Amino acid sequence: MKPKLRIENVFKIFGERPEEALKALEQGKSKLEILEETGQTVGVKGVSFEVNEGEIFVVMGLSGSGKSTLVRMLNGLIPATSGRILIDNEDVTRCSAERLRNIRRNKIAMVFQHFALFPHKTVLENVAYGLKIKGEAAHRRREKALKALEQVGLAAYADSMPGELSGGMQQRVGLARGLATDPEILLMDEPFSALDPLIRREMQEELLHLQKVLNKTIIFITHDLNEALLLGDKIAIMKDGAFVQVGTAQEIVDRPADEYVAAFVADVDRGRVFQASHVAGRPVTVEQSEIGAAEKALQLMEKHNRNALYVVDKGKVAGVVAYQELAVAAREEGRTDLKEVMVTDVPVVHPETPLNELYAAASAGYPIAMTDSHGRLVGVIEVEAVFSQLSGCASENGATSGNECASQAKTQGSQDRNVQPR
Amino acid sequence: MFSPADLVQIPIDDWVNSLVRDFLVPNFRSFFRALQAPVTSVLNWVDAFLHWLPMLAVTAILTVIADRTAGRGVAIFTLLALSFIDMTGLWPETMTTLSMVITSVLFCAVMGIPLGIWAARSDRVLFVMRPILDIMQTIPSFVYLVPIVMLFGVGMVPGIIATIIFALPPIVRLTNLGIRNVRADLIEAAEAFGSTGWQMLWEVQIPLALRTIMAGLNQTLMLALSMVVIAALIGAGGLGLTVYTGLGRLNVGAATAGGIGIVLLAIILDRITQALGEKNSETAPSLWQTLCSLFSWGLEAKQEKDKTA
């Protein structure tokens, strides 16, 4: 897929003489040394990344890491010192002021940390601002703005003033304002940081929900790792103006690039980061109608060292048989019909189910069946795999000591996680 | 004793004399005369209109404006004060003064607001403009009355020009301040949506600076009123002339009557313009909303809104 947004080796130096600072950076000097020697502040140094259409790319970093500067360079609010920023292969850093304005009007919208709603305009006028700037007719403006307000569930407040709304509602208006011009790219600069935790959670879920419908390319800035892990298709961890690691939530939690990232992810709720598909193993199954199914099932279980096995009926889950029961029935009593010993009330989950929602399914005592949207069995989750993933040692033999885990986590590939999550 | 004056003497008075008398007046008199044409036409129009309107009409209009903007108290005060002025027999002079003040404030606004905007957009412009504004505000007005008379002659219009010089700085300063104080994140938001400079100005900066600009207008108005007597020195009429003549003839009574007229006019105009500035920034119910809430359908609409909340 062609990337929607490509950033190539972008630098930002604040100060009068950026060349000096760039030279010093080449010599490998640190941000602090450069500030002392040249008086120039390094905002962003050598950042490159790509974002595909419909992706949420989260930049996570603490304050002063340069993440807000980075996002403002994407729409030219802060001009980059060097490097290229390509939106649909057009370089934002080199286009004319007129062209940049056009890009801002049509392609790229922004949502701000402190909402930045115009206090003298009604909610509707705020949402319609981008459309007004583009010169759209009043009735079309109203129509589109109302539609955007409906998307965030605030159509009833169209004629209120922003000051009359709560923080969460104000940010919904901010989001609607960003969506009203139907941009392809949405820049969100810590949009939920100023909200209290409950509202923040609600807004995060709403954003994900909206994104399913809208499929925008979103650059999301945050200082909250949990928010980053929840929202990001790809996450970049930023420190001192540079990216430390870029990857999916699972990659970052599982294989932190350095100690800085490791310290961040140390107390992350892994149960929410990892999903059923990450711990599921390839299903070993036996077809219900097969001749000699019982014996085959027993042999398979012996071979794979399992104590339960899923029985499928044309790909769909029919039930589960336990080794002990089947062995007694088939080998001692000679009853070879699987249906007699099969348990049909089996725990079933979806690949996207987060691990922390597997507890109920795990309590049945059987491995958990993972099915796709058509009900086909695509994976089987052993309860031990869930626990070892949650404890941070996703290895087959279930290593327990913390240090071992960390080293193993890096070397161990995804041999047991070969099921496509999406 | 030695003093620097022994070495060099600066005959600044001669310099200025020759500059004004021998250079500006002979060469540019017609230019300055032409400059006053717009002031003259606006003044004539306003003056004629105010004198043409019957006293009761002016009183009614001002009372209604006061009621709409500043509330019932100020409206009652306006009614009583204007009636009082009429009873003292100074109504025509008051209208002359009012037309002078309106004209000079109008020109101050027309020049001062754009100057303020310009200063707000460029630090360099502000750097140059600030000392000029300081001079305009602090230099005693008598200093520039003489060259004004030499260049523009005597009468109402030179009086207004002197008033403009004196009253212009606050509106420039406060326009500049108001625009510079607009929250940076709002400017950034407007920019992020692709606003041009003009769109930014009209949609965001001026509306948000309006309260401060109105405060500047109020200050300018007050300064213009305070110049009324001084302008009378160079032939401007109105209440200022009444005070000035009273002074010249030791007629305490006439001077007091004129003075009271100026004060009453000042209070009325001050309260109205102040209220205008405050009204604009309010997000509280507007006059229309208040009226609506008096009627049942307005109440219903409000209740419905509350329900959805």
Mind giving me the DSSP string for A81-94? SEEEEEETTEETTT
Spell out which residues of chain A touch residue B192, defining contact as CB-CB under 8 Å: 75, 77, 104, 109-110, 187
Q: Which of A112, A133, A141, A144 to mutate to test the interface with B (most CBs of B within 10 A)?
A: A133
pLDDT digits (tens, 9 = 90+) for A127-171: 999 999 988 898 999 999 999 998 888 888 888 899 898 888 899
- At B128 the pLDDT is 95
For residues A54-59, give the mean pLDDT. 91
CB–CB of B194 and A105 under 8 A?
yes
Cβ-based neighbour number of residue A162 at 10 Å: 22
- At B264 the pLDDT is 94
CB–CB of A133 and B186 under 8 A?
no
CATH number, domain with residue A385? 3.10.580.10
A200 and A230: one domain? yes
A370 and A295: one domain? yes
A229 and A376: one domain? no
CB–CB of A110 and B195 under 8 A?
no
Q: How far is B60 from chain A (nearest CA, A)?
A: 32
Domain final residue pick, A229, A251, A268: A268
Predicted TM-score (pTM) of the model is 0.76
Residue B232 tokens read as 């009378």
A67 and A189: one domain? yes
* Band of pLDDT at residue A397, cut at 50, 70 and 90: very low
pLDDT digits (tens, 9 = 90+) for A219-241: 999 998 888 888 888 999 998 88
A286 and A356: one domain? yes
Number of domains in chain A: 2
pLDDT digits (tens, 9 = 90+) for A245-269: 888 888 888 888 888 888 888 777 7
Residue A387 lies in a domain: yes
A241 and A329: one domain? no
A102 and A214: one domain? yes
Residue A193 lies in a domain: yes
A71 and A214: one domain? yes
Stretches where chain B sits below pLDDT 50 are 281-287, 289-291, 293-304, 308-309
CATH superfamily of B10-284: MetI-like (1.10.3720.10)
- At A358 the pLDDT is 78
A296 and A234: one domain? no
A91 and A61: one domain? yes
For residues A283-289, give the mean pLDDT. 78
CB nearest to A116's CB, from B188, B194, B203: B188
Do residues A409 and A254 make contact, with C-beta atoms less than 8 angstroms apart? yes
ipTM summary value = 0.74
pLDDT digits (tens, 9 = 90+) for A9-53: 888 888 888 888 888 787 777 878 888 888 888 888 889 999 998
Q: Which residue of B has its CA nearest to A163?
A: B283
A406 and A289: one domain? yes
Residue A137 lies in a domain: no
Helix axes B25-52, B156-180, angle to 10 degrees: 90
A222 and A264: one domain? yes
Q: Which domain holds residue A368?
A: 277-411
φ, ψ of residue A163 to 5 degrees: the values are: -65, -20
Half-sphere exposure of B153 (CA within 13 A, CB side): 13
Residue A118 lies in a domain: no
The residues with which A5 forms a beta bridge, in sequence order, are A51, A87
Domain final residue pick, A221, A246, A268: A268
CB–CB of A104 and B190 under 8 A?
no
Helix axes B91-121, B123-138, angle to 10 degrees: 150
CATH number, domain with residue A56? 3.40.50.300
Domain final residue pick, A268, A289, A324: A268
Closest CA to A277 of A250, A312, A237: A250
A282 touches chain B (CB under 8 A): no
Residue A417 lies in a domain: no
CB–CB of B185 and A110 under 8 A?
no
